[in-house]
Structure 1
Amino acid sequence: MAPSEPLENAARFVYVSRARLHRPRANVIQTIKTAEGLARIGVSVALFVPPWKGTRSKDEILNDMGVDVPLGIRADSGLRSFWKPMAFAPFFWRHKKRLQNAPVVYTRSAVLSLALMKHGIPHSFEVHDMDALQRQNVLQRLMEGYTKGLIRRFFPISQAAAQGFLDLGVPPERVHVCPCGVDLGLFENIAPWDPSGLKRPHIMYVGRISRHRGLSLLERLAVQETFRVTVVGSLEDSPETERIGVIPFVPHHQIPRYLEQADILVMPYQRNLPHAGSISPMKLFEAMAAGRPILVSDLEPIREIARHGRNALCVDPDDEEAWLEAVRFLQEHPGFARELAARAQKDAARYSWENRARILRDTLLAEKPEHAHG
């Protein structure tokens, strides 16, 4: 179990988040793993989050996420959504001085970035969805904050998102690509991939699946008599076939035990997914670490990580038959499938949470650069 760590006023990295710990979704896990990565490389972190629901303790929640290092996490009622119209004023009444004195203040929430700007707190902003920032008319306000020195640096999770800031005139030295990552420790004992499974492949998707996440492509695969399709997560839309098996959400630290049961891992994101233009999904890095052949949608930000024919097969998300053909190709070329999986597993080592944390540390705390990507 991850031990608790009291927050110290001297924390060098203050992360302000809207993550609700009782919701084990990707944004929550990514926030926690970012903080854990920083802690693992010796950066003291104070992570502020809204209170979470339920009776589970913080340590129980962190244990489910596979966190085994002390993390300084504090629930603050001033971060509840109730206070959003007031720019989370109670939180800033309590912590403004600390935020002003912190070497680094950081957030991945556009709403919190705007609140930090309103309260005059310089900070850095992690960017996940450029399209949403534009749709919600937030991007221009963030740029105004940057011009005033209230946003010091941008950390987009993909080069595609970074290009948006470069096109707006932000200097390259203020834009740092910082992809999501993977907890390699959770995959240390994963069973090796067995190509014999390709004869009757078990095809798996992890996470929430809906039409815009590619449910129709899973349906196309599931109706094949010799294919078995499983979703580890939930169906947000009703499938048109009963041949898709569903395993409800499992604790994050158990995900490798399910991935190792797969013969092929698929991520059939659609072009109309709201954040398709800047996506950097954790499940891609986890699939790579699992050492399984990967079929993933051929989208621009995905291609920054998934290299077609090297560590994955990038398939046209608009062509259902192409996905079926890709599975058939792997069945007919098991040696190639093995090489694809092995290279993916090797490449995953570059994307540990610790390496991601080094990008943040090296950039924001002026340490000697040693990070391995970005």
Structure 2
Amino acid sequence: MAPSEPLENAARFVYVSRARLHRPRANVIQTIKTAEGLARIGVSVALFVPPWKGTRSKDEILNDMGVGVALGIRADSGLRSFWKPMAFAPFFWRHKKRLQNAPVVYTRSAVLSLALMKHGIPHSFEVHDMDALQRQNVLQRLMEGYTKGLIRRFFPISQAAAQGFLDLGVPPERVHVCPCGVDLGLFENIAPWDPSGLKRPHIMYVGRISRHRGLSLLERLAVQETFRVTVVGSLEDSPETERIGVIPFVPHHQIPRYLEQADILVMPYQRNLPHAGSISPMKLFEAMAAGRPILVSDLEPIREIARHGRNALCVDPDDEEAWLEAVRFLQEHPGFARELAARAQKDAARYSWENRARILRDTLLAEKPEHAHG
């Protein structure tokens, strides 16, 4: 079980988050794994989160996520949504001095970034969804915070998202592409891929799936007599076939044990997803680390990681027949499929959470606050 530790007053990296630990969604896991990556490379982290529900202890939750180092995590009631209209004032009453003195204050929540700005706390902001920032009329306010020196750096998760800030005139040295990552340690003992499985392939998707997330593509594959399709997660809409198997959500540290049962991994992200323009999905990096052939939607930010014909096949998300053809191509070319999977596994090594943490450390902790806009 991963130990937890009390927060130290001298933590160099203060991460303020809205992650609810009882909800094992990707955003929560990404937050925890970022903090773990920093801890693994020797950066002391204080992670503030809202209180979580249920009777499970913090250590039990972290153990399910596969966390293996001590993390300084504190639940603070001042971060509850109840306090959002007041810019989370109780949290800042308690911790404003500490935030002012911290070498680094960091968040991935636009709402918390605005609150930090209101309370005069310089910080850096991790960007996951540029389109949402524009839709919610937040982007302009964030840019005003940057101009005033309250946002020091932006950490978009894709180059596609970074381009938005560059187009707004933010200097490249203040915009750092920081993709999501993968816990390589969880995949150390994964079974090697066996190309013989392509004769009757087990095709797998991990996560929540619905009509607007690509369920119809899974249906198209599932009705093939020689294909078996499994969703490890949940179906949010009823499928039109009974041939899609469902394994309810499993603890994150167990994901590799399911991925190794797949012959092909699919990620049919749709263009109409709100975050499709800046996506950097954690499950893509995990699929790569699993060393399985990958079929993924051909979207601009996806192509930054998934290189068509090198470590994945990028398929038009609007063309269901193309997905079927891609599976059949892999069946007909098992040697190519093996090379695809091997290169994906090799490329995954660049995207460890520790490597992600090094980007944060080397940019933020090397910076002198008084020269924030140098």
Q: TM-score, normalised by structure 2?
A: 0.98
Segments of structure 2 that go 5 or more residues without pairing to the other structure are: none
Q: What are the superposed Cα offsets for residues 193-237 of structure 1, whole Å, 9 maximum, x if unpaired?
A: 000000000000000001121101000000000000000000111
Q: Deviations over 1:4-28 (max 9, x none)?
A: 1110010000000000000000000
Checking the alignment, whether the CA contact within 8 Å between 1:359 and 1:371 is kept in structure 2 is no
Partner of 1:271: 271
Q: Is the 8 A contact 2:312 2:344 kept in 1?
A: yes
User: Is 1:265–1:294's contact at 8 Å kept on the other side of the alignment?
Assistant: yes
Over 3 Å counting, the alpha-carbon distance change for 1:333 and 1:373 in structure 2 is: farther
Mapped partners of 1:347, 1:371: distance in 2? 36
- Equivalent residues of 1:287, 1:294 under 8 A apart: yes
Structure 1 equivalent of residue 335 of structure 2:
335
- Measured against aligned partners, the alpha-carbon deviations of 1:160-197 in whole angstroms (never above 9, x if no partner) come to 00000000000000000000000000000000000000
Deviations 1:297-316 (A, max 9, x none): 00000000000000000000
2:268·2:296 contact (CA, 8 Å) conserved in 1?
yes
CA, structure 1 residues 369+99, in 2 after alignment: closer, same or farther (shift >3 Å)? closer
- Name the counterpart of 1:313: 313
For each residue in 1:314-373, what CA deviation from the matched residue of structure 2 results, as whole angstroms up to 9, or x when unmatched?
A: 000000000000000000000000000000000000000000000000000119999999
The Cα shift of 1:41 comes to 0.1
The whole-number CA distance in structure 2 between the counterparts of 1:335 and 1:366 is 46
The answer to whether the 8 Å contact 1:362/1:369 transfers is no
Change (3 A) 1:367 1:190: farther
* C-alpha separation in 2, matches of 1:239 and 1:164: 37
Indicate the SS of the match to 2:52: coil
Aligned CA distance change for structure 1 residues 28 and 371 (closer, same or farther; 3 Å):
farther
CA contact (8 A) 2:149 2:373 kept: no
- Aligned CA distance change for structure 1 residues 373 and 294 (closer, same or farther; 3 Å): farther
Residue 216 to residue 340, structure 1, CA distance change in 2 (3 Å): same
1:230–1:245 CA contact under 8 A, matched in 2: yes
Q: In the TM superposition, what is the alpha-carbon distance from 1:261 to its structure 2 partner?
A: 0.1
* Cα distance change on mapping 1:365 and 1:78 into 2, 3 Å: same
Q: Alignment identity in percent?
A: 99
Could you say what the CA RMSD is over the residues aligned between the two structures, in angstroms?
2.9
Deviation at 1:238, TM superposition (A): 1.2
Which is further off, 303-312 or 2-11?
Answer: 2-11
Residues 355 and 373 of structure 1 are in contact (CA less than 8 Å); yes or no, is this contact kept in structure 2? Answer: no
CA–CA distance in 1 between the matches of 2:333 and 2:195? Answer: 10
Distance 1:369 1:355 in 2: 24
Q: Distance in 2 between matches of 1:114 and 1:367?
A: 22
Distance 1:373 1:10, change over 3 A: closer
**Distance (whole Å) between structure 2 residues aligned to residue 372 and residue 59 of structure 1:** 37
Residue 362 of structure 1 contacts residue 368 of structure 1 at CA under 8 Å; is this kept in 2? Answer: no
Contact 1:355 1:372 in 2 (8 A): no
Q: Deviations over 1:28-78 (max 9, x none)?
A: 000000000000000000000000000000000000000010000000000
Please give the per-residue CA displacement for 1:89-146, whole angstroms capped at 9, x wherever unaligned: 0000000000000000000000000000000000000000000000000000000000
Q: Is the 8 A contact 1:350 1:372 kept in 2?
A: no
Summarize the Cα distance change of 1:240–1:370 in structure 2 as closer, same or farther, 3 Å threshold.
farther
Deviation string, structure 1 residues 261-293 (Cα, Å, up to 9, x no partner): 000000000000110000000000000000000
Aligned length: 374
8 A contact 1:311–1:344 mirrored in 2 = yes
